[in-house]
A = this chain, B = another copy of it.
């Protein structure tokens, strides 16, 4: 899995802090922007998080290029609707590389891995046969598995990202999307450490857990 932050809103933290400040201030925006020293930004953003006043976080937007992930993952990912996606098409791009993602429970089990790879070999051969017979790629791809590698460009704003981390960094999320969330957060902390300082699953950010009987128990153990 390869996750890179390819671009983002310039000065994301200053922007979020200044936008929020405007709501409560009679002075103009440029004056606010100028007066925002680094320390002030940090204190102010922490206050916004404490007050759950998250709408200003929407002004900072982040764009990731993600490769080496499965279509199982992207079917989950694109369910986050407050985001923008550009994904490699299986309709227009004829499969050539046949890279497949292997879940850890399978890669760590020799017998399972053997079954897995044999099936995928059959799938690959079947797909190529269909294409050779003149079946359009968009139809031959019906054979391609959830495991198929895909590439996607994703843009989310900081508010949606905080929400994404709350649900996808939970131990109940599937391993692959959780790994993706961790890598995205790592990248974000390099360029906007204050905005994402406390990003995490709900149990960490809000001290609540809704997983009921399926909870990992971490929160309960603490209290």
Residues of chain A touching chain B, judged by Cβ–Cβ distance below 8 Å, are 4, 6-12, 15, 18-20, 22-26, 28-30, 33, 50-53, 55-56, 58-59, 61, 63, 65, 67, 70-72, 74-75, 78-79, 81-82, 84-94, 96-97, 100-103, 105-106, 109, 111-112, 115-116, 118-120, 122-123, 125-127, 129-130, 133, 135-136, 138-139, 141-147, 151-153, 155, 157, 174, 206-208, 210-212
**Is B143 a contact of A67 with CB atoms below 8 Å?**
no
Known: A59-B63, A143-B119. A75 touches B78 (CB 8 A): yes
- Chain A at the B interface: SS class: mixed
**Is A85 a contact of B55 with CB atoms below 8 Å?**
yes
Closest CB-CB distance, A66 to chain B, in whole Å?
Answer: 8
Closest CB-CB distance, A114 to chain B, in whole Å?
Answer: 10
**Is A25 a contact of B130 with CB atoms below 8 Å?**
no
**A115 proximity list for chain B (CB < 8 A):** 126, 129-130, 133
Known: A75-B71, A75-B74, A119-B122. A86 touches B59 (CB 8 A): yes
Residue among B87, B112, B138, B208 making CB contact with A22, cutoff 8 Å: B87
CA of A145 to CA of B139, assembled, Å = 12
